[in-house]
């Protein structure tokens, strides 16, 4: 549900941009998983036996409402190093004016052995070419009919020819994928059209593989296919193949892509925050009907996001009308402000943060802070004009992870104007430190915060110097309390500029991200223990199945936050595993501490000889008499602390817990 305060804040942000003549687009990449995810495809693999069926089901639900009249295409996706086949993406192509792109009869005739040939002949007639179809066999399955015809478009009419291929060579390869990607095109003689139209029938479905075409020819083929299908009563038809660029600006294209562990939704660019919020509502509703959601649960942890993220992308309506190409100072303001506020990197992301995560901050990379500052200062001094190439060349070596990967960055510019790759010249700024959340209004609230900051920073540059957080970044700012305090500073900046955001919504997100594991109260004294963030270190290369190597991260460590009320420390002490836990007094008279402990020691991991530190006991002791007044234990298979009926079972008096560095708020229980 889109709240009034959201609309008011969005209107304020969009008016500011409009006053400066800026047209701004928002993109998104929310990720979904099944309600009951099973197998590697919903854990770490990009593809698997069920993911495509979920993608088609999700697409069909979208086509019942928001994407009614769309054409659905199963397309080849990216090929990543170490993967045998390209990943796939299901694209929904809709007309922006709401008119249908493609439609079929609601009811069709039952397919017979002659149905495929009848449909193929009708399609050739609609295209105005002879029916030069030849049959192929598919070694991957029996009962699959395949017809193939060379076909090309010269800009005005279609041309076809018969492929003089010996019958013994008329068979598809055994590779995975649709028939049109498994043709022996190397056997095609010179002089024939270089594109090939391929149709096949499997059971009650006819599939048509569309070769690479320009937009006008593509639309012509869709129209011919629609007429042929209606004339032959074909209601169950699907498209495979290539979709062209939207040269005429007619389309809205949504993608459902195979990604490791999740199904990723690639939204079309939204020209307003309102449009983005409406998409979130539609995606969550359609995903629910398709049996999918944006969060996961497990018996060994609290609910958390899908694991695939919900990245936000900023851009412009076109490369000719792009808001950041000619405003490098604005972009520098954004980069500086994000560096000043760790909550923007840590509060809305997943459980995995730090230098080896999927979205490290620039000051967590291998670059010195003065190098980062030098780059930002340089682009701030650029004169008027289009500086897309120089901005890219300056920042692409800064916005990286520790390995130099420009995609894995909190604010990634690898799709801004990266001339090394065609897909990198899109004018996009990608914010990757955002995880999928369980409610559409929460995802919309994060996007709204980002939009308000974009508008605010256009007129209100942050402090010029970057913040040197030093060890505090991975100590204090991994604790929920510190992150909320930092977000409060952001709220204050926005309120001074006239942007009013509802703290309760963001507090609910914060509560969900950092669940309470223990809560104790006696009179005015109270203790709250929450789950905190942890930075999991990268390990050395480890051989994996198939002969390749992989670099795992050590996920054995977890972090807790201990927050006590004013006056608690004058009455009570806290012991963890029998050891005193030092608390640091805060300006509001509360006390705070972090604690790292070893939850697992699965292979591979750092320090394999150090055992796990579960069960973990927390004992509250009366300072006057030294007696335990309450005791809680987290067992090996538990995710919360359970109170003991008889406190005082854990022997007290060990060495005080300590941090790895002087002044740390966080102690490490592994240290003696």
- Please spell the DSSP secondary structure of 497-558, one letter per residue: TT----HHHHHHHHHHHS-EEEEEEETTEEEEEEE--EEPPEEEEEE-TTS-EEEEE---EE
Quick one: pLDDT at residue 645?
A: 94
**Taking the alpha carbons of 265, 403, 413, 419 in that order, is the dihedral positive or negative?**
negative
Count how many domains the chain has.
3
Residue 121 lies inside a defined structural domain of this protein: yes
369-380 vs 388-395: helix crossing angle, rounded to 10:
170
Residue 64 lies inside a defined structural domain of this protein: no
Quick one: pLDDT at residue 422?
A: 76
499/547 same-domain check: no
358/479 same-domain check: yes
DSSP-assigned beta bridge partners for residue 549: 543
What are the structure tokens assigned to 655, written together? 């060495």
529/642 same-domain check: yes
Between 72-81, 206-215, 337-346, 541-550, the lowest mean confidence (pLDDT) is in: 541-550
pLDDT above 90 for 142: no
- pLDDT tens digit sequence for 628-657: 999 999 999 999 999 999 999 999 988 999
Q: What is the pTM of this model?
A: 0.95
- Of residues 551 and 503, the one with the higher pLDDT is 503
pLDDT above 70 for 456: yes
DSSP-assigned beta bridge partners for residue 238: 207
Strands, DSSP E only, in 370-524? 411-412, 429-431, 516-522
633/527 same-domain check: yes
495/536 same-domain check: no
Average pLDDT value over all residues in the chain = 95
What are the structure tokens assigned to 471, written together? 């060890």
Share of the chain above pLDDT 90, in %: 89
- pLDDT tens digit sequence for 397-451: 999 999 899 999 999 999 999 988 878 899 999 999 999 999 999 999 999 999 9
Give CA torsion, residues 5, 286, 241, 53, to 10 deg. 140
Residue 547 lies inside a defined structural domain of this protein: yes
Q: Measured between alpha carbons, how far is 255 from 264 in angstroms, rounded to an integer?
A: 8
Residue 110 lies inside a defined structural domain of this protein: no
Q: Do residues 23 and 317 lie in contact, with contact meaning Cβ atoms separated by under 8 Å?
A: yes
- pLDDT tens digit sequence for 312-330: 999 999 999 999 999 999 9
What are the structure tokens assigned to 506, written together? 């963001």
pLDDT above 80 for 550: no
Quick one: pLDDT at residue 599?
A: 95
Side-chain half-sphere CA neighbours of 588 within 13 A: 8
Share of the chain above pLDDT 70, in %: 99
Residue 262 lies inside a defined structural domain of this protein: no
416/434 same-domain check: yes
pLDDT above 90 for 541: no
373/391 same-domain check: yes
452/535 same-domain check: no
407/489 same-domain check: yes
Q: What is the chain's Cα-based Rg?
A: 29
Q: Among 505, 538, 566, give the residue marking a domain's end.
A: 505
pLDDT above 90 for 336: yes
Give the residue carrying structure tokens 């926005």.
494
Residue 87 lies inside a defined structural domain of this protein: no
What are the structure tokens assigned to 197, written together? 């139209």
Q: Measured between alpha carbons, how far is 666 from 595 in angstroms, rounded to an integer?
A: 5
489/557 same-domain check: no
Residue 278 lies inside a defined structural domain of this protein: no
Residue 203 lies inside a defined structural domain of this protein: yes
Instruction: Work out the average pLDDT over 84-106.
Output: 93
Quick one: pLDDT at residue 547?
A: 63
* Domain encompassing residue 314: 4-26+296-505
In the structure, what pLDDT confidence band is assigned to residue 282 with cuts at 50, 70 and 90?
A: very high
503-513 vs 480-496: helix crossing angle, rounded to 10:
160
Q: Among 241, 272, 306, give the residue marking a domain's end.
A: 241
Q: Among 487, 505, 523, give the residue marking a domain's end.
A: 505
pLDDT above 70 for 546: no
477/527 same-domain check: no
Instruction: Work out the average pLDDT over 458-475.
Output: 94
471/531 same-domain check: no
Q: Measured between alpha carbons, how far is 48 from 224 in angstroms, rounded to an integer?
A: 34
Instruction: Work out the average pLDDT over 333-357.
Output: 96
DSSP-assigned beta bridge partners for residue 650: none
User: Distance from first CA to last CA of the chain, Å, rounded?
Assistant: 51
pLDDT above 80 for 219: yes
């Amino acid at each position: 549900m889109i709240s009034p305060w959201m609309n008011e804040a969005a209107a304020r942000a969009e008016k500011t941009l409009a006053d400066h003549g800026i047209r701004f687009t928002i993109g998104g990449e929310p990720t979904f998983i099944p309600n009951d995810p099973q197998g590697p495809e919903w854990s770490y693999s990009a593809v698997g036996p069920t993911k495509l069926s979920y993608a088609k089901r999700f697409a069909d639900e979208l086509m019942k409402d928001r994407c009614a009249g769309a054409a659905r295409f199963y397309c080849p996706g990216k090929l990543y190093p170490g993967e045998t086949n390209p990943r796939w993406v299901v694209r929904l192509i809709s007309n922006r004016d709401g008119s249908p792109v493609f439609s079929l009869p609601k009811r069709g005739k039952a397919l017979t052995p002659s149905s495929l040939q009848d449909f193929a002949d009708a399609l050739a007639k609609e295209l105005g070419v002879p029916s030069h179809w030849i049959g192929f066999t598919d070694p991957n399955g029996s009962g699959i009919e395949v017809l193939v015809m060379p076909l090309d478009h010269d800009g005005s009419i279609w041309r076809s020819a018969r492929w003089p291929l010996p019958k013994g060579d008329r068979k598809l390869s055994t590779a995975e994928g649709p028939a049109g990607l498994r043709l022996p095109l190397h056997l095609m003689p010179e002089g024939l059209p270089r594109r090939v139209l391929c149709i096949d029938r499997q059971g009650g479905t006819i599939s048509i593989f569309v070769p690479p075409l320009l937009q006008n020819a593509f639309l012509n083929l869709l129209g011919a296919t629609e007429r042929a299908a209606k004339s032959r009563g074909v209601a169950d038809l699907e498209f495979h193949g290539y979709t062209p660029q939207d040269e005429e600006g007619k389309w809205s294209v949504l993608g459902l892509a195979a990604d490791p562990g999740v199904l990723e939704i690639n939204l079309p660019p939204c020209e307003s925050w309102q449009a983005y919020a409406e998409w979130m509502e539609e995606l969550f509703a359609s995903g629910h009907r398709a049996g999918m959601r944006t969060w996961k649960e497990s018996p060994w942890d609290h609910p958390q996001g899908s694991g695939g993220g919900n990245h936000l992308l900023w851009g412009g309506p076109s490369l000719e009308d792009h808001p950041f190409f000619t405003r490098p100072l604005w972009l520098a303001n954004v980069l500086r402000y994000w560096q000043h506020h760790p909550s923007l990197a840590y509060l809305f992301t997943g459980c995995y943060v730090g230098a080896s995560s999927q979205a490290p901050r620039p000051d967590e990379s291998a670059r010195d802070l003065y190098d980062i500052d030098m780059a930002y200062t340089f682009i701030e001094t650029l004169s008027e004009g289009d500086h897309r190439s120089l901005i890219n060349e300056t920042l692409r070596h800064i916005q990286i992870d520790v390995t130099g990967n420009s995609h894995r960055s909190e604010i990634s510019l690898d799709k801004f104007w990266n001339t090394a790759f065609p897909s990198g010249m899109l004018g996009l700024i990608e914010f990757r430190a955002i995880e999928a959340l369980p409610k559409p209004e929460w995802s919309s609230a994060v996007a709204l915060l980002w939009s308000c900051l974009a508008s605010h920073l256009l007129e209100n540059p942050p402090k010029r110097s970057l913040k040197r957080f030093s060890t505090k970044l991975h100590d204090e700012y991994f604790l929920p309390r510190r992150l909320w305090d930092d977000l409060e500073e952001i709220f204050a900046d926005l309120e001074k500029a006239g942007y009013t955001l509802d703290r309760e919504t963001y507090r609910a997100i914060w509560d969900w991200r950092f669940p309470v594991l223990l809560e104790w109260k006696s009179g005015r004294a109270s203790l709250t223990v929450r789950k905190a963030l942890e930075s999991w270190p990268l390990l050395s290369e480890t051989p994996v199945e198939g002969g390749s190597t992989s670099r795992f991260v050590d996920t054995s460590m977890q972090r807790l936050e201990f927050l006590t009320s004013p006056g608690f420390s004058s009455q009570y002490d806290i012991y963890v595993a029998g050891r005193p836990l030092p608390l640091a007094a805060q300006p509001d008279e509360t006390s705070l501490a972090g604690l790292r402990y070893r939850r697992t020691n699965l292979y591979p991991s750092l320090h394999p000889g150090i055992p796990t530190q579960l069960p973990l006991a927390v004992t509250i002791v009366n300072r006057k008499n030294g007696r335990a007044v309450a005791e809680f234990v987290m067992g090996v298979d538990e995710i919360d602390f359970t109170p003991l009926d008889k406190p005082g079972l854990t022997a007290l008096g060990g060495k005080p817990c300590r941090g790895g560095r002087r002044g740390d708020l966080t102690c490490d229980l592994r240290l003696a």
